[in-house]
Chain A
Amino acid sequence: MTEDRNALPYTDTKPVGAADFYTAINATFRFIFNRFGRDGLLRYWHELGTRYYAPVSQQWSKGGLQSVAEYWRAFFDAEPNAEAEVSLHANEVCVVVTTCPAIRHLRAQAREIMPTFCQQCYFVSDAMAEPAGMTVRVKGGNGSCVQRFIKRSDCSAAQNIEDIATAS
C-alpha cells in the first residue's frame, strides 16, 4: 500500500503507532461495558465515530469513495504489523484485513480480549460513514475480516451482528 498521511485527520511525528496501546483500547471497552453494559459501549463507539472522527466524515463527504480508500490505506500503514489490502470499486471500497494488528498484539501479550472487540469496526465506522451517506458491512473478525464501505442508498440489508466473529 502507498503511504499518504494527509488522509489521516490527526498525525504524529513517528511513522507507526505503539502497539502497547491496543491493550488500553481493549481495557477501555471492558471498563465501559462493565460499568454501563452493551448499550453504554455502543453509545461510546457511536459518539467516538460521530464526534472524535468527525474530520474523517467530512473528508468522506467531500471525497466520496476515493477518500474512503485513501483513509484506510493510510490508516493501516500507520498500524504496527497490520496486513490489509484496500481496493476501490465503482460502488464500494473493500478492505480485506488479513492480519488485524490489534488482535495480533493482544494475543501476543496473552490478554483477555473483549468478546465484542471486533464489533467496534462496524459501530465506529458506521457512525463515521453515515454523515457521508455511506455505511459499512463487516464479515469475519477475530484476526481477519472483510469490511465493505458502500453508499447507504445501495444497501438494503442491515449489518448482521452474527457475521462479526467473537474475539478471543
Chain B
Amino acid sequence: MIGCYDFCGHYEWTFGWLEQLGGHELVRDYWVEAISEDSQRHASDLIVNHGIEGMRKYWQHTLEEEAADHVMTSTDEVYRIDMHQCPSKGFLIKNGLEQYHDYCDHCMGWIGPLMKKAGFVVDHEHNHCGQCWWEMRRVDDVTPPSAPGGLSGEKDVRLTFKWKTKRTDHYDRSTSSDDKTPLT
C-alpha cells in the first residue's frame, strides 16, 4: 500500500516519473487535472465560493494537519501566507529525496489554476529550502505585493535569516507554474 505518511516522497517521485514519460506538459497537466481539479476540489469549492474567507478555512485546516510552521495574515483585500518551514519540502530535504528538479513548483501548479477560477492572482516567491510567501488578491486589484514586513510585520519570512538562498523563484500576479522568474 502507498501511504500518506511519506506522501511527499512518492508525490515528488511521481513528478519525475511523469516528466520522463511526457515532458513538462504532462507534469503541468497532472498538477491541474489530478491535484487542482480532483484531489483538491474541496479547496476549490471553498475558495471559488467564499474567496478570502474560503482561503482562511482551507489553509487553516490543511496547514495545521501538516504541522506547518507558518503565519497567515488576511484582510478583506488580500490573503497572505508566510511559510517558515514547509513540512513538505522539509520531508524531502530530511530524507535526501530529489527526483524532480523543482518540487516547489507544484504549489503554483495547482493553486494557480484554482485562483484563476476563483478570480484571484498570486504574488509568490519560494527559496527552495522550505521557505516561501504568498499574496492572493482579486484580479482587478492592481495593488503590488507588500514590502517585507508590510503585511505580516516581524513574522514576514523575508525578514528571517533563512530567506536568502542561492536561488529564489518569483511569480508576479500569476496563475500558472510556468510564469516564474528565477532570481539569483
Query: A124 to chain B: which residues have CB within 8 Å?
Result: 1-2
B3, B14, B87: the one contacting A14 at CB < 8 Å is B87
Residues B5 and A51 in contact, CB atoms below 8 Å apart: no
- Interface residues in B72-115 by Cβ distance below 8 A to A read 87, 90-91, 94-95, 97, 99
| A146 touches B (CB below 8 Å) | no
Chain B nearest CB, measured from A28 CB (Å): 6
A24 and B1 within 8 A (CB): no
> Which residues of chain B come closer than 8 Å to A153, judged between CB atoms?
none
B59 at the interface (CB under 8 A from A): no
Once the chains bind, are A52 and B34 in contact (CB under 8 Å)?
A: no
A27 and B4 form a contact (CB under 8 A): no
What's the minimum C-beta distance from B61 to chain A, rounded to whole angstroms? 8
Knowing A12-B5, A125-B1 are in contact, say whether A48-B38 is a contact too (CB < 8 A): no
| Chain B residue with the shortest CB-CB distance to A72 | B1
Given known pairs A20-B65, A21-B4, A124-B1, the reply for A52 and B39 (CB within 8 Å) is no
Is the contact region of chain A dominated by helix, strand, or loop, or is it mixed?
helix
Contact A13 B90 (CB under 8 A): yes
B54 within 8 A of A: no
Q: Which of B11, B17, B26 contacts A44 (CB 8 A)?
A: B17
Bound Cα distance from A11 to B22, whole angstroms = 30
Nearest A residue to B33, CB-CB? A31
Q: Which of A59-67, A74-82, A85-93, A158-166 contacts B (4 or more CB under 8 A)?
A: A74-82
Cα–Cα, bound, A36→B107 (Å)? 24
Q: Could you tell me if A51 and B13 are in contact, using CB atoms closer than 8 angstroms?
A: yes
A94-134 vs B, Cβ < 8 Å mask (1 yes, 0 no): 00000011100000010000000000110011000000000
CB distance from A19 to the nearest CB of B (A): 6
Inter-chain contacts of B39 with A (CB < 8 A): 23-24, 26-28
List chain B residues, Cβ under 8 A from A155: none
Contact count band on A:
35 or more
- Determine the chain B residues whose CB is within 8 A of the CB of A79 once the complex forms: 3-5
Closest to A100 in B: B1
Contact A17 B34 (CB under 8 A): no
Are A10 and B97 within 8 A (Cβ)?
Answer: yes
Docked pose: A31 CA to B90 CA in angstroms: 26
In the complex formed, the residue of A with least CB distance to B36 is A27
Contacts of B95 in A (CB 8 A): 9-11
Asked if residues B1 and A30 are in contact (CB atoms below 8 Å), the reply is no
* Given known contacts A31-B38, A109-B42, A10 and B1 CB-to-CB distance under 8 angstroms: no
CB of B159 within 8 Å of the partner chain: no
Residues B67 and A14 in contact, CB atoms below 8 Å apart: yes
Whether B168 is near chain A, meaning CB under 8 Å from some CB there, is no
Name the residue among B7, B33, B42 with the largest chain A CB count within 10 angstroms.
Answer: B7
B5 touches A52 (CB 8 A): no
- Structural contact, A80 and B33, CB atoms closer than 8 A: no
Q: Is there an interface contact between B7 and A17, defined as CB atoms closer than 8 Å?
A: yes
Known contacts A17-B7, A31-B33; decide if A25 and B65 are in contact (CB<8 Å): no
B65 touches A18 (CB 8 A): yes
Closest to A78 in B: B5
Instruction: List, sorted by A's number, 11 A–B pairs whose CB atoms are closer than 8 Å.
Output: A12-B91, A17-B6, A17-B7, A18-B7, A18-B66, A19-B65, A24-B39, A28-B14, A31-B34, A102-B1, A120-B1
